[in-house]
Amino acid sequence: MSGLSKRIEDYGFIGNLLSCALIAKDGSIDWLCLPRFDSDACFAALLGTEENGYWKIAPVDEDGAKVTRCYRDGSTILETTFETETGAVTLIDFMPLSQDEEHVDLFRVVRGDRGHVRMRTELTLRFGYGATVPWVRRTDFGLRAVAGPDAIEIHTPVSLRGENYRTVGEFSVGEGASVPFALCWHPSHRARETRIDPQARLAETDAWWREWSGRCRFGNHQPHPWRDAVVRSLITLKGLSYRPTGGILAASTTSLPEQLGGERNWDYRLCWIRDATLTLYALLSSGYREEARAWRQWMLRASAGHPSQLQIMYGLSGERRLDEMSLDWLDGYEGSKPVRIGNAAYDQLQIDVYGELMDALHVGRKYQLEPSKEAWNFQRVLLGYLKRKWPRPDKGIWEMRSGARHFTHSKLMAWVAYDRAVKGVEDFGLTGPVEEWKSERDKICKEILEQGWSDKRKSFVQTFGGEALDAALLMIPTVGFLPADDPRVVSTVEAIQRDLTEDGLLLRYRTDATEDGVAGREGSFLVCTFWLADALSLIGRTEEATELFERLLSLRNDLGLLAEEYDPREKRQLGNFPQAFSHVGLVNTANNLISTQGPAQQRAEDAAHEEEVKEPA
């Protein structure tokens, strides 16, 4: 069976804050990049075939096996149980945390639960995203594979042999016994891993994750039915964070499609500035100040430099050059080509990123993260540059690959940038030309109200003078531009809900009404539906918002994971997986719905300002 026949939701996610792996229900690891999340994959069957690399451990009689799986509570340790006619075994997959970025390990332990089960392991290692065949030799501990800078060792007591250009082995596991496997990566010029000890490292990994997840504040005062979903989302966010720098990936994969068989396939193993504010709220409101602090510091380091060079996204360590290329030897997930690495949108002008950066730093001050004089100096310079930029057309939040336009959301976030600067002076005693910033804020406000509103639609619209709608405009009350009870806000929320909803879930925009430069349609964008739930809650339709949130929870896979999108017609997840922004949306919306002081309400109230300049015409 190849990765092509498995649904995205068939995968589980394990990680060690350096890299991660995706493991299917059949016990096959079909995606693994080493040593970092954004390194070349050594298992790439997810985007091709088994010939591009995979590692499967399953019963010999797998067709007759019943499969169930779960995470150990509060961790990323994945347990897959196979029940056959002769017994039952559990495959335990985990990646222990490491302080050494040049030694990254993945462990697989087969535990006998009942009777005896005959098992088989099949391994095909292919470095360079499935293109490079390594030199493999057997050793006294298993095997060693080398290709250029990469070396991988497989440690196991199971006897391994070559068969049809793959490594295989059979073994039997009885009740109470266990059979370990360890995959250990290191640079080919470095010494090999010396500390294997699967049981000790499993216990260490379990204890670390339980302690971390136990710090979650959601539902601590009284049991809440959403707590497990929120904790799982926070664990996923932590699992997508790169420990050495504090960067948080948008997703663990590249090129999982937004449309099956289409070309909307992008590399999301990068860090987006626009995710910053909502991610900070998700972490801080849940009690994770250390992670929020590390994310803010990553953002400051990555964006440091001349403001004209501010990018919308960066690499895990703040890398700026993210050149996009296609991997033509990979067939793509269910034929969805091209398979891309890198992201050409990194050098687009997207004006909203200035507002997101300013808002994120404002949130840090609000939650009393350590003040930074250098950060405020940088922000002041940034605003001077934004003054020349915001009147220009740009590519917008959705990174359009067509011509630049005057996107209403982009102007909205430019307004946020100046508004948060004013708040920095008024609320935190910082210094700056506040009257100039107020004047610029009012100019942007006037343009949005005059050119971003459609009398025909009775809604704010995607672009100045246009008629297309955009889910990003649900942010208008959230960022405090207009109060939630303003008739224009209510009308906009209702118009977006009415016109962009398919089977109760929200599209970003209608691809048939917006020229975005990429062929094909896409599924419902999950974070946008979370935004709709937030907006409905803010305008007083809390019961409806709660029902929508419960619907979103039902779309998670059996492990509580969400991709970027959902196709309501095919009833399946789409896009890169697991998606950080979807899980950020889940955490924030849960907080919004259980508290009148959730992230959306706090953000709106904190940004509220004089309303007389925005009276309806």
SS3 of residue 50 by DSSP:
helix
Three-state secondary structure string covering 147-210 = ECCEEEEEECCCCCEEECCEEEEEEEEECCCEEEEEEEEEECCCCCCCCCCHHHHHHHHHHHHH
In a domain, 396, yes or no: yes
Q: Both 197 and 261 in a single domain?
A: no
**Which of 213-227, 373-387, 533-547 has the highest mean predicted lDDT (pLDDT)?**
533-547
Instruction: Dump pLDDT digits (tens) for 419-443.
Output: 999 999 999 999 999 999 999 999 9
Q: What percent of the chain shows pLDDT beyond 90? A: 82
- Alpha-carbon gap, residue 15 to 19, rounded angstroms: 6
Q: Is residue 616 part of a domain?
A: no
Residue 369 pLDDT level (bands cut at 50, 70, 90):
confident
Q: Is residue 499 part of a domain?
A: yes
pLDDT of 617 above 50? no
In a shared domain, residues 269 and 242? yes
Residue 35: give its domain's CATH number.
2.70.98.10
Residue 318: which residues within 8 A CB-CB, separation 6 or more? Answer: 245, 247, 298, 301, 302
Give the residue-averaged pLDDT of 464-469: 96
pLDDT score of 4 more than 80? no
Residues 151, 253: one domain?
A: no
Residue 531 counted as domain residue? yes
Examine residue 614 and state whether it is found in any structural domain, yes or no: no
Percentage of the chain modeled with pLDDT above 70:
94
Same domain, 189 and 306: no
Residues 203, 242, single domain; the answer is no
Cross-strand bridge partners of residue 70: 79
CA distance 284 to 293: 9
Same domain, 426 and 534: yes
Q: Which residues contact 521 (CB under 8 A, 6 or more apart)?
A: 259, 262, 511, 512
Domain assignment of residue 435, yes or no: yes
Q: Specify whether 202 is located in the same domain as 279.
A: no
Who has greater pLDDT, 41 or 196?
41
Residue that terminates a domain, selected from 212, 242, 266: 212
Amino acid at position 129, single letter: Y
Do 206 and 246 fall into the same domain?
no
The arithmetic mean of pLDDT across residues 318-339, rounded, is: 96
The answer to whether residue 320 scores a pLDDT higher than 60 is yes
Q: Say yes or no: 167 and 235 in one domain.
A: no
- Which among 180, 212, 244 is the end of a domain? 212
Which band of pLDDT confidence, cut at 50, 70 and 90, is reported for residue 3? very low
The rounded mean pLDDT for the chain is 92
- What CATH number is attached to the domain comprising 351? 1.50.10.10
Question: What average pLDDT does this structure show over 7-18?
Answer: 98
Query: Cα separation of 138 and 143, whole Å?
Result: 4
Per the structure, how many domains does the chain have?
A: 2
The residue-averaged pLDDT of 363-378 equals: 85
563-601 confidence digits (pLDDT tens)? 999 999 899 999 999 999 999 999 999 999 997 556 665
Spatial CA neighbour of 553 closest among 533, 538, 577, 575: 533
Q: Is the pLDDT of residue 346 over 60?
A: yes
pLDDT tens string 70-127: 999 999 999 999 999 999 999 999 999 987 888 999 999 999 999 999 999 999 999 9
Residues 48 and 130: beta-carbon distance below 8 Å: yes
CA distances from 221 to 209, 217, 234, 317, 593 (A): 21, 8, 18, 38, 16
pLDDT of residue 178: 97
φ, ψ at 587 (rounded to 5°): -65, -50
pLDDT tens for each residue of 472-515: 999 999 999 999 999 999 999 999 999 999 999 999 998 775 66
Host domain of residue 169: 3-212
Distance CA 432, CA 400 (A): 34
Assess if residue 355 is contained within a domain. Answer: yes
Query: How far, in Å, CA of 106 to CA of 93, rounded?
Result: 8
Listed in sequence order, the residues at least 6 apart from 290 whose beta carbon sits closer than 8 Å to its beta carbon are none
Q: Does any domain span residue 617?
A: no
Q: Are residues 459 and 374 in the same domain?
A: yes
Residues 277 and 181 in one domain: no
Statement to judge: residues 179 and 290 lie in one domain: no
Question: Which of 267-271, 327-331, 346-350 is the least confident region?
Answer: 346-350
Among 212, 244, 272, residue at a domain's last position:
212
